Amino acid sequence: MRTYLISLPLIILSAVFLTGCFDSEDKAPITEESPEEIADGTDVESSADDGWDTYENSSIGFRTEYQQDMTLREEGENTIAFSLWGPTQTEDTELFDGLSVRFTRHDLEAETLRSLVEQEMADVQAVGEITEPIDTIVIDGQEGFEFSGITVGPSQRRIFLPLSTSVALEISILVADPTGMGFESMADRMLSSVELLASESEINIILETPLTDALASGELLISGEARVFENTVNYRLTDDDGNILAEGITTATPSDIGEFGPFEVWISYDEPRTDTGMVEVFSVSAMDGSEINKIFVPVRF
């Protein structure tokens, strides 16, 4: 559960002010220290010599491009901030000329992704206003939520994406560009380059039936739970000669984005040429159309 929302107005305002403002550390230029020395991540040199590099942080769960003039700063264990000031920005004030992009890891504990977003919206509404209501967004093939709100300074765009059932990534973006420095396009490039680094062992499809070496007799039940892009679950049945006997899609029905939802489909199939075969259940990558999250179950005919 979120722990920073408490009843004392002064402390709430102080927390919001720290979120919406730059402090004196933000104004410092990037030193000769590499970003991985400034923050716990890996800086990878960009293949294009265009003033942009790539930053990766596996513990928070993301990779993104960033403009080399930006300052990178670690804010606690779970947040990395990228910032760049315009010529008129001053210290110890709200942002009015510059760019700030923060990546924050949230441990959901007993929360869902939606409940986290709704709580964050309520926190903003308590001291400010919502400028863009909650909506869905897809980044790196993963569907999440976003909203925008004002507390101090310009409207802040906040994006929430599931990394797993228990972990979410928040991307918060503040932009003010009165002198035409191109901060908006910088923010767009950073966002479009974001890659989510979920655990390689993360399970997104759980197959309940058929069981291994189950006997199929003209019809076959495929069922389980899935948390996949657009809730689309693909299936394929082949015999041991590689002949496709049946294939198609079914839909998982989660209660919310980022949650597992059940799926179930009865399939009939063509006459097999062998005594055994294979059920494949998988999803399709939104990035390149490849088959991912594959599960294989041998069956008998």
Tens of pLDDT along 53-77? Answer: 999 999 999 999 999 999 999 998 8
Determine the structural domain holding residue 37 and report its residue range: 9-196
176 and 42 assigned to the same domain: yes
Considering only residues 5 and 237, tell me which one the structure prediction assigns the higher pLDDT.
Answer: 237
Residue 4 lies in a domain: no
Tell whether 289 is covered by a domain: yes
What is the arrangement of strands in the sheet containing 42-44, beginning at the earlier edge strand? 42-44, 52-57, 62-67, 195-196
2 falls within a domain: no
pLDDT on residue 41 = 58
The answer as to whether 3 is a domain residue is no
Inside any domain, residue 184: yes
The whole-number average pLDDT for the span 293-300 is 90
Q: 120 with 37, same domain? A: yes
Is the separation of the CB atoms in 104 and 173 below 8 Å?
no
pLDDT digits (tens, 9 = 90+) for 94-151: 899 999 999 999 988 777 899 999 999 999 999 999 999 999 998 987 889 999 999 9
| The predicted structure's pLDDT at residue 285 | 82
192 with 284, same domain: the answer is no
pLDDT, average across residues 202-220: 90
Higher pLDDT among residues 219 and 166, named by residue: 219
User: In this structure, is residue 183 part of a structural domain?
Assistant: yes
Confidence of residue 4 (pLDDT cuts 50, 70, 90): very low
Domain termination site, one of 161, 177, 196: 196
Answer yes or no: are the C-beta atoms of 110 and 123 closer than 8 Å. Answer: no
User: How far apart are the C-alpha atoms of 263 and 278, rounded to whole Å?
Assistant: 19
262 sits in which H/E element: strand 261-268
Whether the predicted model's global pTM rises above the 0.85 cut: no
| CATH code where residue 97 lies | 3.40.1000.10
Residue-level pLDDT at 26: 41
Task: Among 196, 219, 236, give the residue marking a domain's end.
Answer: 196
- Same domain flag for 163 and 259: no
CA neighbours within 13 Å on the CB side: how many for 41?
Answer: 27
Query: How far out from the chain centre does Cα 217 lie?
Result: 42
- Count structural domains, the chain: 2
Mean pLDDT of 237-254: 96
Residue 156 and residue 19 in one domain? yes
The CA-atom distances, in angstroms, between 117 and each of 39, 112, 147, 162 are: 26, 9, 8, 11
Residues 137 and 22 in one domain: yes
Same domain, 100 and 17: yes
Residues 117 and 168: their CA atoms lie apart, in Å, by 10
In order of 201, 244, 280, 298, the CA distances from 247 in angstroms are 26, 7, 9, 15
Q: Are residues 48 and 184 in the same domain?
A: yes
Shared domain for 156 and 263, answered yes or no, is no
For residues 229 and 101, the model is more confident at 101
What is residue 232's three-state secondary structure?
strand
pLDDT of residue 289: 83
Residues 154 and 239 in one domain: no
Mean pLDDT of 153-177: 92
Which residue in the block uniquely carries the two structure tokens 């009939």?
Answer: 268
- Reading phi first (left if > 0) and then psi (alpha if -120 to 50, else beta), residue 153 is in left
In a shared domain, residues 159 and 27: yes
Q: What percent of the chain has pLDDT over 70?
A: 82
Asked whether the beta carbons of 281 and 235 are under 8 A apart, the reply is: yes
Asked which of 196, 228, 258 is the last residue of a domain, the reply is: 196
Could you tell me if 75 and 224 lie in one domain?
Answer: no
In the 8-state DSSP scheme, what is residue 214? E
Per DSSP bridges, beta strands 232-239 and 244-251 are antiparallel
Name the DSSP class of 94.
Answer: B
For residue 1, tell me if it sits in a domain. Answer: no
The CATH number that applies at residue 256 is 2.60.40.650
Cα angle 153-156-157, degrees, rounded to a multiple of 5: 165
- pLDDT at position 258 is 84
Quote the CA–CA distance of 174 and 191 in Å, as a whole number. 12
Tokens of 296: 């294989």
**Closest to 81 in 3D by CA, of 67, 71, 69:** 71
**Is it the case that residue 252 has pLDDT exceeding 80?**
yes
pLDDT of residue 42: 56
Which residue type does 165 have? T
Q: Return the pLDDT at 219.
A: 92
What local confidence, expressed as pLDDT, does residue 10 receive?
Answer: 38
Q: Decide: residue 81, CB within 10 A, 0-12 exposed, 13-18 middle, 19+ buried.
A: buried
Higher pLDDT among residues 4 and 275, named by residue:
275
Q: What is the pLDDT of residue 39?
A: 52
Before 210, cis peptide (omega within 30)? yes
What are the pLDDT digits (tens) for 8-53?
343 333 344 334 444 433 433 333 333 444 554 555 555 557 899 9
